[in-house]
Chain A
Amino acid sequence: MARREVDDEKKSYSGVFLFAVGLLLIGSVWSVWDDAVSRRPWKKYQAEFSMIAYNKTLAEIQAEEERLAAEPVYQEALTTLESAQADIMGGEGGQRLATLQTALAAAEIRTSDAENALRVVRSEIEAAWYEYDHAIQLEHATKDEKAHLDALQAEAAEREKVFLAEQSERDRIENEINEINARVIEAQEMLRTMNQQKDFLEQRIDNYVMRPVPGLVLPAIPAITQVVVPEFDRSNFDTPLARVDRCQSCHVGIDKRGFEDQPNPHKTHPQYDVLMTNHPPELFGCTSCHNGQGVATSSVDIAHGYVQFWEHPLLLGPKMEANCLSCHSDMQTVATQNATVGQHIARGEKLFMQLGCTGCHLVEGYGEVKKIGPYLRRVAAKSDPAWMVEWVTNPQEFRPHTRMPHFFFTEDQGRAVTAYLMKASMEEGQAWLDAHAEPEGIDPNNAELVQKGARLVNSLGCRACHGFNAEQTATMVGQNKNHAPNLARVAEKTNARWLYHWIKNPRDYAPNTAMPDLRLSDEEAQAIVSYLLTLKTEIERPDMRSELEDPDLILEGEGLVRQYGCHGCHDIPGMEREARIGVELTSFGEKSLAELFFGNRTDVPHTWEDWTYEKVKAPRGYATERIAQLMPWFNLSDEDILAVRVFLKSQTGHHVPERFTAHGDWTDTIVKGQRLVQYYNCTGCHVIEGGGGDVRSLYLDNPALAPPILTGQGKKVQPEWFYGFLKQPIPIRPWLELRMPTFHFANDEASGLVDYFNALSKLEIPYNYFDPSRTAPDMVHAGEVLMSEDYFACFSCHQQGDQKPEGPPDGWAPDLGLAKERLNPEWIVEWIKDPQALMPGTKMPTFYPGGPDDIFAGDEDKQMVAMRDYIMLLGIDDPFASMNGNGSSGIAAATVQETSQDDTATLVEESAPSADDAREAENTEATETNM
């Protein structure tokens, strides 16, 4: 068979080409599809959202239409419009209107013609003026020019008349048309106003969809929404980097209200008012709070940062709060003022500071937190050694809610630590004992005395910090830690001598203690100590003093104290130069798994969260044979551990640039003051910014007996007075059994607290003196009358210096004589206006509205100001006298003095002590001499 020759020229390649073309076509289609769709999953979300928003808006429009249909006013306007239009069209009005409109058009033309003619003459006058003026300048004859000018001026006057006539004719026709149309215009205007919402919605709907032909609704073309936050980050070489977030390409509804019930990603941001309004994404982006890979859009996981090597994946749940602290260093206050946000981070930070974590771990910004443990330099004078061995070995067995953590010491180790502490504090302890004699009058077997003591601890306010039996709780740190010791078994650990001198003056024993001085009388202290001595169980403890004097034991104890860092929380002799023993946690939140030591634990999932949870939950869990772990056990609830973890997560070591932080003029002052408030537990008694006031739970029946609320205190009191009061409190509310203790604040502490309250009240200028020149004698006099028995009878309850109200002191109210030094004048008016609003449950009744009609013709605001003025000048003999000496004009001064004499005369007449008369005479004389 011969080989068949095929002519190449004739061979057909069409099949191959077809295949290739097909391949190319598929490839092209695929590449377009991939580029436009499959690599842009966000488009799907945006389209979904557009349709959701479209349908929602449609429903809103429908609802609005229904509302309008049911709105009688709207329907009336519609009917009015229709009937008005029909009236005009149907009746004579229609014809008249048509005639008028024709006439108007003609009149318009005539008016503008007349105006033009007038303008032509006026420009001719300009030219004639020039000619005339020029002739004068050249000293030519001016007769002709003058005549021409006069003729033109006469013509202009004529033409102006014509123009004005035409204009007024035009206006007349126009007015007549408007008159006929008046009802129509009015109705149209009304409808326009009522349609505003509907029009707005109809405009908005076009943002979401395209409607190319009727009946076809397509979602608007999706687009990347990108926020650039310039210079938010720093590169590894410390150059500024912008933060770029595209999160809103999928989360379109996040900054729009009304999508709260939608699922993610379409949903409105939760807590919109606080979190969105105060943190607009166009300024801060999204990842600054949430983390994640903001710039990525190719898949949900990639965008959320759940990919290998992305260091900051999206924070979920409570951990989301970790970033709050980067910008809000005053998180304690922020979380108190807004009860719905930042609760975990604030609690975690509080626990971290109040459980003594800072004693062992350095964290930037928390280095100055005070040591929280008791002062041990004189503990030999205080504690029973056998008790102390027990305590050191397992503190939570003696006091289940103590802040002291459990170090898992063996009993031998406990003995060693005690031996060292006793030895180290022996000298100072003995010196203290020598200076403080065994007290008298204490008898735990005297039932009456014990009862008196028990009553006193309840009434003086001790319960704000201490519980006196196992069930009583006072201020808590976290869920199950007592701020101050529960004293249920206090008599087992110490003795009458120490207790007595301690409660009489705590700082005499421990110079830095948070325990305040309640200014107890000897009798009160005796009763309280007698009561405290009954608080114990029947456990007998041996005398261990001699046993603990073993030098080897003491040496071992010293080693343990040093190794376990007891000095982190306690002031211990011999340990003054020791440093913190724990690792620094400043950037703990950034630690990678490689940096976390899991020991032999295989049951703990390898994540930062699990490692941290286990570390706090069971601190010795990662110990191996070769690597010891020292951290003690705090016995925290899981919720508290979570809060601590959120705090630790927040410690990244990075700094957000200043301009992004919420660091205002007040922030540092607030942070500093808040730490003092926390340390001294001011909030155990007082409500500050809506938080605290733990002791109030004992006064639910009668809140008037609870300690005063200090929210807004900065606006209320004058700073110098407040400073003096904090240094040395005086009783202000005679009905309170509770006693504001003396904390013996150092100067910087007292002024720090004053500044804190001023900062919370955002006072630009805290000093607010009352200047008599701001008022007038008639105001003061009116104030006096208003406060007199005939009107508000203020002094029925209020003290006024030495003048006390009738009845027992527990029915009295604060001394108004103090007001001029104590109170901010502006605050007094606010207080009189609505006392219950400023201090719910107060004994001060509400007087307004309801002021008398016969003073200032019932002008209540003026009445309140008048009382304020009177109060601020109480006790000043002749408040207006000083103004005379200050060089005001003679006549004015004379008038003022005359009235002020009248005013004082009234005062004298009513109170009538003759000494005042004499002083008054002297004052007048003195003033006259001055003049």
Chain B
Amino acid sequence: MRSMNIKTVLSLVVGASLSLASVALGYDAGAVDNGGSISGSITFAGDAPEAVPIEATKDAKVCAKTQKYDESLVVGGNKGIKNVVVSISNISGGKGFGEVMPLDQKECVYTPHIVLTPAGSELEILNNDGILHNIHTYSEANPAFNQAQPKFKKKLKKKFDQPEYVKVTCDAHSWMSGWIVVMDHPYYAVTDGEGKFSLGDVPAGEYEVKIWHETLGETMQKVTVEAGSDASLAVELSQS
């Protein structure tokens, strides 16, 4: 009798704290049965702009090993736009977070150009260039910082608590520019070189999908996901 009581209390406590935690995060993570998916491509309206080469004016030994191009607007095959963030903006539960990529500073380029990181977790920032970089963030919801990463510090960890699109620059290498996208759920994706993306394991339902690009701005689309099938989404963005 007594041991049962303890168990009951224990499960109540654990349950309560779990539900508290999920309230705090605003997102319930769990298994998704028979979910659908959203996939498609984001394309550019108008003529694809030519790639703008970057002149590495400093630390050329490292930074100019290979020719780099400006990544603020990259249009690839079939006019697909690279580096567009597609995310569901109204979702309160679904799959768990997958593996989180680190942000690498590789030959003075942020790789990937847009890194996605879950709110409240620590982002790994790597510097294997063997030179000084600094990570200067421009954010409002999260505290802005300007952290040096000297060559002896190959790995840094930074925590972002609030969902936000955070611009990152390096004051030592003025051409370096990237984005840290902080989300409180795992339903987001960055388009590939052909503008394609795919969001899997989406519970059936109606969603608002946000399409965000650093220079082309953002737009919202309504998408209905049915269980077990794929909802396709094609959006065209243009330079305003």
Contact = CB atoms under 8 A, between A and B. Distances in A.
Q: Is this pair of chains taken from one and the same complex?
A: yes
Interface of A: 701-702, 704, 789-793, 796-797, 805-808, 810-811, 835-836, 841-847, 850, 852
B57 interface: yes
A796 B152 contact: no
**Ordered nearest first, which 7 A-B pairs have the shortest CB separation?**
A845-B134, A793-B132, A845-B148, A807-B57, A807-B58, A843-B171, A806-B58
B57 A846 contact: no
Contacts of A810: 174
Contact of B146 (A701, A806, A811, A842): A842
A811 B148 contact: no
Contacts of A811: 57-58, 171-174
A806 B145 CA distance: 25
Nearest to A841: B144
Contacts of A836: 145-146
A805 B156 CA distance: 26
A796 B172 contact: yes
A845 B59 contact: no
Interface in B88-144: 131-132, 134-136, 138, 144
Nearest to A836: B146
Given A843-B136, A843-B146, A852 B152 contact: yes
Main secondary structure of the interface of A (DSSP, over half): loop
A790 B174 contact: no
A789 B172 CA distance: 13
Given A792-B132, A806-B58, A811-B57, A797 B172 contact: yes
A805 B132 contact: no
A808 B132 contact: no
Nearest to B174: A811
A303 B138 CA distance: 57
Given A796-B58, A796-B59, A796-B131, A790 B171 contact: no
Contacts of A704: 171
Given A808-B57, A845-B134, A793 B171 contact: no
A845 B147 contact: yes
Given A796-B172, A811-B174, A850-B153, A806 B148 contact: no
A846 B146 contact: yes
Contacts of B138: 701-702
Contacts of B132: 789, 792-793, 796
Given A792-B150, A807-B57, 18 more contacts: A791-B151, A792-B132, A792-B148, A793-B151, A796-B59, A796-B131, A797-B172, A808-B174, A811-B171, A811-B172, A845-B134, A845-B136, A845-B146, A845-B147, A845-B171, A846-B146, A847-B148, A850-B147
Interface residues on B, range: 20 to 34
Contacts of B145: 836, 846
Contacts, number: 72
Nearest to A846: B147
Contacts of A850: 147-148, 153, 156
Contacts of B134: 845
Nearest to B169: A702
A163 to B, nearest CB: 61
A737 B3 CA distance: 75
B59 A806 contact: yes
A835 B147 CA distance: 10
Given A796-B132, A807-B57, A811-B57, A844 B146 contact: yes
Nearest to A813: B171
A843 to B, nearest CB: 4
Contacts of A844: 146, 171
A791 B132 CA distance: 8
Interface string B21-37: 00000000000000000
A832 to B, nearest CB: 10
Nearest to A797: B172
A844 B156 CA distance: 18
Contacts of A790: 151-152
Contacts of A845: 134-136, 146-148, 171
A793 B151 CA distance: 9
Nearest to B167: A701
B58 A805 contact: yes
Contacts of A792: 132, 148, 150
Contacts of A793: 131-132, 150-151, 172
A844 B171 CA distance: 8
9 contacts: A791-B150, A793-B131, A796-B131, A797-B171, A836-B146, A842-B146, A845-B135, A845-B171, A846-B145
Contacts of A701: 138
Contacts of A841: 144
A811 to B, nearest CB: 5
A784 to B, nearest CB: 15
A843 B60 CA distance: 21
Interface string B44-62: 0000000000000111100
A850 B135 CA distance: 14
A807 B174 contact: yes
A789 B173 CA distance: 15
